A and B are shown apart, each in its own frame.
Chain A
């Protein structure tokens, strides 16, 4: 009976993992509280003891990878629509490649930002928080933030452009005059990716 209540195996797995995660957090937190060891939970210690290099490189990695995920998702959606619609209306093929290019642009934003950010990562000398200095920490966190910014904004931009492009392709297949209007929607969608890039550059300046 319990199995019927569950949706499928995935749901059981995810429920289990989430439950394990939150119960670990809860029990650890409870133990810290009971034994008056709350002072050991020190976010400042974590932020100053972990290396700024980790944060910088996480930012770089996330910048390119999340952008590529967005681009890929968008192309997958648009591409399947173009291919499907092109069976009955082959004329849409050439025009709708523009949608694909808008998606690809998102990936290009990501790789450019990744290269720009990684060029700013330099060696520093210092092993203790004092000798590392505030500027290095700031650099690390800025790069992480910039990478997150550009990555997530490109991710959603790519998905957005993809879905719009897919709709455009199918609409074009039905009625050729619709395409140009829908392209405007796609341009707006593409702009948000650009916003992310601009903000990221401001972050790492």
Chain B
């Protein structure tokens, strides 16, 4: 309903006396805004469009009314012009404004109940008095489309005239004529847009009156060379419809270090960082950033060894080869009646010296699962205990987001369920819970005992004399 009111604005030029004004004016602003919004946010491709108004003093074939927003294609216009110009010679006046858009009518046409401010008085009168058709949105591809099309339909070449030269022109009505009147559009300096359009309207009126004086039957077309406003939207293919995450793209996660036996991974290790540093120095070297070779790794049902050899010389200035090895073993523990694996040792070998760390105490998980820990260090919340050596250990380890599995890998390249080093409650929480609940229990017990103390009522005698406490000595 709202959009039909919008198109009826154009039709009001032709159908005067409608009471549509009062009906629509209150909604027209909203509709214009909504239409603008719709045009702005519609996901369709924008096509440049130009309106075309056509009126004739000797009748025009009817034009089937189209849906609002429908963009008339050039073929449709050509078909209509063929049907309009099929019989006999026609004189066609083409008022070609430099730029024209539907919005010019909206802004300057006095459509908000202020008809007296409208800049298209003569145009409206002409549309009203003659039979007229309107193409509110004509597909615009290039400037010369309309003149070329008219030229083709009429079979004559165009003649450029203006309002002053027209009275002196004699028009041969036995042949078709195509007269083009160029009208300017607003520029940023000089007269205001409204004045320019008003002047154009005056030119149209003058030309039409000249034609009337000459008693020439004409068909007039008012259109623009190019649209004055093009609202372009992004095409559908660039921004697909639908929702998408707004956050930054998550970077690709690197795959784990896999040691394959007969095609399938047998030992897998993943860490965000495998930081090592010499004791006493503060610089950390991240082994996970480099690709190691896995020679020397073994994997069978009870022992797995993952040997990572880093052979680049730039790790340390005087290191050619850095070998880190992770040794795991699994066996059956009768008390819990299941197989557990432990990371027995992590060895770091460089320059002929070896540092060894024991992890069997802290790094363990059921054999079917993988072990994961956010922080595996040798110096802070120690999980890897350095073996006692005469000088203190050469290296310090700091593995971040560490996950390892040496047995039970049947699931392709995925880790099994990760048994995490962090449980739900920490030991401190358990201690607090124990003592706290104990206190609570004692308190409740005492409270219960006190609350069941009653005042003795064995010797109460409601009928006897009540106790009297003398006030005076």
Contact = CB atoms under 8 A, between A and B. Distances in A.
Given A10-B448, A130-B361, A39 B427 contact: no
B431 A51 contact: yes
Contacts of A50: 427, 430-431, 434
A196 to B, nearest CB: 19
Contacts, number: 32
Contacts of B389: none
B366 A46 contact: no
Given A46-B427, A130-B361, A39 B435 contact: no
A46 B419 CA distance: 17
Given A39-B336, A40-B423, A128 B431 contact: no
Contacts of A49: 427, 430
A204 interface: no
A128 B382 contact: yes
B260 to A, nearest CB: 28
**Band of interface residues on B:** 10 to 19
Interface in A108-129: 128-129
A151 B292 CA distance: 63
A15 to B, nearest CB: 13
A70 B91 CA distance: 124
A144 to B, nearest CB: 11
B86 interface: no
A48 to B, nearest CB: 9
Contacts of A51: 427, 431
Interface string B429-463: 01100110010001000001001100000000000
Contacts of B430: 46, 49-50
B70 interface: no
B431 A39 contact: no
B164 to A, nearest CB: 94
A58 interface: yes
A50 B427 CA distance: 6
Interface in A57-106: 58, 65
B448 A54 contact: no
A129 B336 CA distance: 20
Nearest to B426: A49
B431 A54 contact: yes
A46 B448 CA distance: 32
B29 interface: no
B435 A54 contact: yes
Interface in B373-432: 382, 385, 419, 423, 427, 430-431
B212 interface: no
Interface in A20-62: 39-40, 45-46, 49-51, 54, 58
B435 to A, nearest CB: 7
B338 interface: yes
Nearest to A129: B361
Contacts of B419: 39
B427 A10 contact: no
Nearest to A54: B431
A78 to B, nearest CB: 17
Contacts of A130: 361, 385
A133 B431 CA distance: 19
A89 to B, nearest CB: 18
B366 A39 contact: yes
Contacts of B366: 39
B407 to A, nearest CB: 15
* Residue from A10, A39, A51 whose CB has the most chain B CB atoms within 10 Å: A39
Contacts of A10: 448, 451-452
A10 B336 CA distance: 42
B468 to A, nearest CB: 20
Contacts of A45: 423
A145 B366 CA distance: 33
Nearest to B383: A128
B381 to A, nearest CB: 9
A143 to B, nearest CB: 15
Nearest to A65: B442
Contacts of A39: 336, 338, 340, 366, 419
Contacts of A58: 435, 438
Contacts of A65: 442
A128 B361 CA distance: 10
Nearest to A39: B366
A45 B438 CA distance: 21
Contacts of B385: 128, 130
B236 to A, nearest CB: 46
A51 B423 CA distance: 17
Nearest to A66: B442
B182 to A, nearest CB: 83
Contacts of B435: 54, 58
A174 to B, nearest CB: 18
B172 to A, nearest CB: 97
Nearest to B423: A40
A54 B438 CA distance: 13
Nearest to A128: B382
A54 B433 CA distance: 12
A129 B361 CA distance: 10
Contacts of A40: 423
A58 B436 CA distance: 11
Contacts of B448: 10
A157 to B, nearest CB: 19
Contacts of B340: 39
Interface in B171-230: none
6 contacts: A39-B340, A49-B427, A50-B430, A58-B438, A128-B361, A128-B382
Given A46-B427, A128-B382, 4 more contacts: A10-B451, A49-B430, A128-B385, A130-B361
> Shortest 10 CB-CB distances between A and B: which pairs?
A49-B427, A54-B431, A50-B431, A50-B427, A39-B366, A46-B430, A50-B430, A39-B336, A40-B423, A10-B448
